[in-house]
């Protein structure tokens, strides 16, 4: 018989035990879940903590931070890496991700949140977007942070200087419309040019961006203020004004808007008044030039002019160059001298020649009837009332002379002119070409340029042209009279190499004869060829370049590098020793002019195919009847010139040589020796001799 009570009791115990077991299992699972939760650590989205944007330069840096959740310890060598997305904010392409920096730890286990700090992070030099994002990644465990919000990252080298249109304004006048290209120039801190195409650009007109204009130059057709800028998004304000150029104002000017003005009541002045004319628009970026009676006034290039006390009346205009596209001339103003002036004053000093009585003559516009006084040293020699506007007084001896005029005019002008008269101990002459001479000019004219009296104190006082009549002049060449007695002499190329001087004899006596400077006359040929010895530059050796020797010449030597003439310092003789291949020439200066020799090409050993034959046998060996050059000398940039023994051109051909000589010899190759010069692109590359054997 089954014991039902027993079975019921045991079944109850089993059920109770199962419940207890399930509870234990649940507790174990919960404990394991808590452990797993503690092991998985998270990184929050990083942020920029030191500034609102990452506007980077060569010298600044930024701080970033994020939070690491609580949890177990991470590997001790674990590093946290701060990464920058591509310019659109995407991390999809690993090659577009940039590592900004990394730190070790915090890697310890903790029950609290930890900070991961990145300090002193530089902005990448190629960063230029408002849409970058950042994240943090662990190096030793698979943990990557959430991605940050968009952060502007922009780099700009703040040592650069952006120059627009050479800092010049764009100004047009006398036109209804215009079109002008303005361009950007960039210079670094060492004033070196920077390629403008390495930067992005945008243009602003009157503060507004011009859509679609992103080139380093802009054609403008409207007035306004233009600025070029490197676009740096939300960092534009941070970098302003370093990332932008100078402003260029484009304007149209009405010529009638600029006039000549004065602070006086009108343009009538007394001589002793302050007399200033000025432009109605003063801008020191403009170029000014004052004119009186249509003649430029030397040195008067400011927007104002202060008129002298004498001879200031006349018609004044002002030429103003506002820009390379606009030059205008103001309307003229007539300045009236209500007073008087001495229009032809006395020279500052004069020479009194022996037996001569000088006549001191002045001219004035003071009204006839004005009072004058003629004073020598401090003594009045004569005085009275003028009967003419030309006054002449004798000066028979050395001293200080003074003429005073009390003008009978509305200004009661008091006029003074003075001079000092000296005796000469000797006369000095200076001769030179009477104009700038071209080296190929023939003949040239040399002339008396200066004739002065030398005083006892050594001062040089010019003689008047009237005083020249007291002298007899004669030209000499190498000490031999030419028979020429005028004040100038024509010298032809046939006289080259001579030294010329001018002699002057004072006819009344009492002064030593005067002899001018010795002027060597040396004409230069138009095609001076340098001698190259030896003709080939062997390895480790040198060659000597020689220009024509003349003691009266001065020399400079140049090397041509990348098309530029580079002066070789310290080389001032007629020879130059060179140890490097290259193109060289000499610049020769004489008393007349300066000329360059032909360029000499110094090169290494010539290949066999480039050897130049030096013997021809016309009418003999058919194979050697003609002077045959290597094929490279048939090219269009080659010129061949052959000279006879007396220096006359026997053959000349440009555009390439093709065995043309001696068939085309002017002398039928009748001489024994000929000389050749081969040039390529106007540079001498070969020269030598040809022997004709029959």
What is the rounded CA–CA span in Å between residue 311 and residue 330? 22
Per-residue pLDDT, averaged over 62-87, amounts to: 97
The predicted pLDDT at position 493 comes to 85
The separation between the first and the last C-alpha atoms of the chain, rounded to the nearest angstrom, is 158
Residue 231, pLDDT > 80, answer: yes
Residue 521, pLDDT > 50, answer: yes
Give the per-residue SS3 of 198-255.
Answer: HCCCEEEECCEECCCCCCCEEEECCCEEEEEECCCHHHHHHHCCCCECCCEEEEEECH
pLDDT in tens, 183-203: 999 999 999 999 999 999 999
Query: Is domain 161-253 classified as CATH 2.60.40.10?
Result: yes
Residues 6+ apart with CB under 8 A from 122: 56, 61, 62, 100
494 token code pair: 């046939």
pLDDT in tens, 423-436: 999 999 999 988 88
Q: List strand residue ranges (DSSP E) for 324-412, in order.
A: 326-329, 333-337, 342-344, 349-352, 358-364, 371-376, 379-385, 390-395, 399-406
Q: Are both 161-253 and 255-337 of the same fold?
A: yes
255-337 CATH fold: Immunoglobulin-like (2.60.40)
> Which of these, 477, 468, 475, 460, lies nearest to 506 by C-alpha position?
468
The predicted pLDDT at position 565 comes to 92
Per-residue pLDDT, averaged over 65-74, amounts to: 96
Contact of 281 with 258, CB cutoff 8 Å: yes
Residues 6+ apart with CB under 8 A from 253: 171, 172, 173, 322, 326, 328
The strands making up 543-546's β-sheet, listed across from edge to edge, are: 531-533, 543-546, 575-578
608-692: which CATH number, 3.40.50, 2.60.40, 1.20.1550, 1.10.287? 2.60.40
Q: How confident is the model at residue 622 (pLDDT cuts 50, 70, 90)?
A: low
Residue 569, pLDDT > 90, answer: yes
Residue-averaged pLDDT of the chain: 89
The predicted pLDDT at position 226 comes to 98
- What are residue 9's phi and psi, to 5 degrees? -65, -45
75 token code pair: 């590997």
> Which of these, 396, 402, 400, lies nearest to 375 by C-alpha position?
402
SS3 31: helix
| DSSP state letters, 46-98 | PEE-S-SSEEE-SS--EEEEEEE-SBSPPPTT-EEEEEE--TTS--S-GGG-E
**pTM for the structure as a whole:** 0.51
Q: How confident is the model at residue 623 (pLDDT cuts 50, 70, 90)?
A: low
Per-residue pLDDT, averaged over 29-49, amounts to: 67
pLDDT in tens, 260-298: 999 999 999 998 889 999 999 999 989 999 999 999 999
What is the CATH number assigned to the segment(s) 531-599?
Answer: 2.60.40
What is the rounded CA–CA span in Å between residue 387 and residue 369? 6
Give the per-residue SS3 of 579-624.
Answer: CCCEEEEEEEECCCCEEECCEEEECCCCCHHHCCCCEECCCCCHHH
The predicted pLDDT at position 627 comes to 86
What is the rounded CA–CA span in Å between residue 691 and residue 280? 79
* Domain locations along the chain: 1-39, 47-155, 161-253, 255-337, 342-423, 426-521, 531-599, 608-692
426-521: which CATH number, 2.60.40.10, 3.90.380.10, 3.40.50.10140, 3.30.565.10? 2.60.40.10
What is the architecture of the domain spanning 47-155? Sandwich (2.60)
Q: How confident is the model at residue 676 (pLDDT cuts 50, 70, 90)?
A: confident
The predicted pLDDT at position 14 comes to 40
Local structure of residue 265 (DSSP, 8 states): S
The predicted pLDDT at position 620 comes to 58
CA-based torsion, 264, 268, 269, 274: positive or negative = positive
Q: Please, what CATH class does the domain formed by 342-423 belong to?
A: mainly beta
- What percentage of the chain exceeds 90 in pLDDT? 69
Per-residue pLDDT, averaged over 454-461, amounts to: 96
> Which of these, 558, 551, 547, lies nearest to 585 by C-alpha position?
558
Residue 511, pLDDT > 90, answer: yes
Residue 37, pLDDT > 70, answer: no
pLDDT in tens, 150-164: 999 999 999 999 999
The predicted pLDDT at position 610 comes to 56
The predicted pLDDT at position 405 comes to 97
The predicted pLDDT at position 633 comes to 77
The predicted pLDDT at position 370 comes to 97
Per-residue pLDDT, averaged over 528-541, amounts to: 88
The predicted pLDDT at position 24 comes to 41
What is the rounded CA–CA span in Å between residue 211 and residue 573? 63
Of residues 311 and 100, which shows the higher confidence score?
Answer: 100
């Amino acid at each position: 018989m089954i014991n039902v009570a027993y079975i019921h009791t045991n079944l109850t115990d089993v059920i109770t035990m199962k419940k207890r077991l399930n509870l234990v299992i649940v507790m174990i699972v919960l404990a394991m879940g808590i452990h797993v939760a503690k092991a998985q650590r998270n990184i929050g989205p990083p942020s920029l903590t030191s500034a609102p944007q990452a506007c980077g330069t060569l010298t600044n840096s930024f701080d970033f931070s994020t939070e690491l959740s609580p949890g177990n310890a991470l590997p001790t060598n674990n590093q946290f890496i701060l990464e920058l997305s591509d310019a659109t904010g995407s991390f999809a392409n690993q090659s577009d991700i940039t590592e900004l920096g990394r730190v070790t730890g915090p890697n310890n286990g903790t029950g609290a949140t930890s900070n991961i700090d990145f300090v002193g992070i530089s902005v990448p030099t190629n960063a230029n977007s408002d849409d970058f994002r950042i994240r943090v990644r662990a190096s030793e465990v698979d943990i990557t942070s959430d991605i940050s919000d968009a952060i502007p990252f922009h780099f700009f080298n703040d040592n650069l200087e952006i120059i627009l249109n050479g800092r010049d304004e764009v100004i047009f006048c006398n036109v209804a419309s215009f079109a002008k290209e303005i361009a950007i120039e960039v210079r670094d801190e060492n004033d070196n040019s920077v390629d403008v195409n390495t930067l992005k650009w945008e243009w602003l007109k009157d503060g507004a961006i011009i859509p679609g204009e992103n080139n380093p130059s802009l054609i403008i057709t409207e007035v306004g203020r233009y600025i070029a800028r490197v676009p740096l998004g939300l960092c534009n304000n941070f970098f302003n004004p370093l990332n932008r150029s100078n402003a260029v104002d484009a304007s149209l000017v009405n010529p009638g808007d600029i006039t000549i003005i004065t602070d006086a009541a009108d343009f009538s002045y007394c001589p002793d008044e302050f007399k200033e004319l000025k432009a109605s628009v003063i801008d020191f970026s403009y170029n000014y030039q004052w004119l009186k009676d249509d003649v430029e006034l030397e040195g008067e290039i400011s927007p104002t002019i202060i008129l002298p006390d004498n001879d200031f009346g006349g018609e004044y205009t002002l030429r103003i160059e506002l820009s390379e596209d606009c030059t205008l001339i103001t309307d003229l103003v007539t300045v009236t001298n209500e007073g008087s002036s001495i229009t032809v004053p006395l020279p500052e000093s004069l020479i009194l020649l022996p037996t001569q009585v000088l006549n001191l003559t002045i001219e004035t516009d003071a009204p006839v009837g004005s009072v004058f006084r003629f004073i020598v040293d401090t003594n009045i020699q004569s005085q009275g009332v003028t009967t003419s506007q030309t006054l002449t007084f004798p000066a028979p001896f050395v001293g200080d002379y003074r003429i005073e005029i009390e003008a009978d005019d509305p200004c009661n002008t008091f006029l003074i002119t003075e001079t000092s008269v000296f005796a000469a101990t000797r006369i000095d002459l200076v001769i030179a070409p009477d104009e700038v001479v071209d080296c190929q000019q023939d003949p040239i004219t040399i002339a008396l340029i200066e004739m002065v009296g030398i005083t006892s104190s050594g001062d040089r006082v010019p003689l008047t042209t009237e005083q020249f009549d007291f002298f007899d002049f004669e030209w000499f060449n190498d000490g031999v009279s030419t028979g020429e007695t005028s004040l100038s002499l024509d010298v032809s190329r046939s006289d080259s190499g001579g030294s010329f001087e001018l002699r002057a004899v004072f006819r009344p006596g009492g002064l030593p004869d005067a002899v001018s400077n010795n002027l060597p006359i040396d004409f230069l040929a138009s095609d001076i060829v340098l001698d190259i010895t030896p003709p080939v530059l062997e390895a480790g050796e040198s060659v000597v370049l020689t220009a024509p020797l003349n003691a009266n010449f001065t020399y400079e030597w140049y090397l041509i590098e990348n098309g530029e003439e580079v002066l070789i310092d310290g080389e001032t003789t007629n020879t130059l020793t060179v140890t490097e291949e290259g193109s060289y020439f000499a610049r020769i200066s004489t008393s007349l002019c300066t000329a360059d020799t032909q360029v000499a090409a110094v090169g290494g050993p010539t290949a066999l195919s480039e050897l130049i034959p030096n013997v021809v046998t016309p009418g003999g060996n058919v194979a050697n009847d003609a002077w045959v050059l290597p094929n490279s000398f048939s090219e269009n940039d080659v010129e061949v010139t052959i000279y006879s023994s007396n220096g006359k051109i026997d053959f000349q051909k440009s555009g390439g040589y093709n065995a043309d000589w001696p068939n085309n010899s002017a002398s039928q190759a009748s001489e024994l020796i000929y000389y050749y010069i081969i040039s390529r692109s106007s540079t001498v590359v070969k020269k030598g001799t040809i022997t004709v054997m029959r």
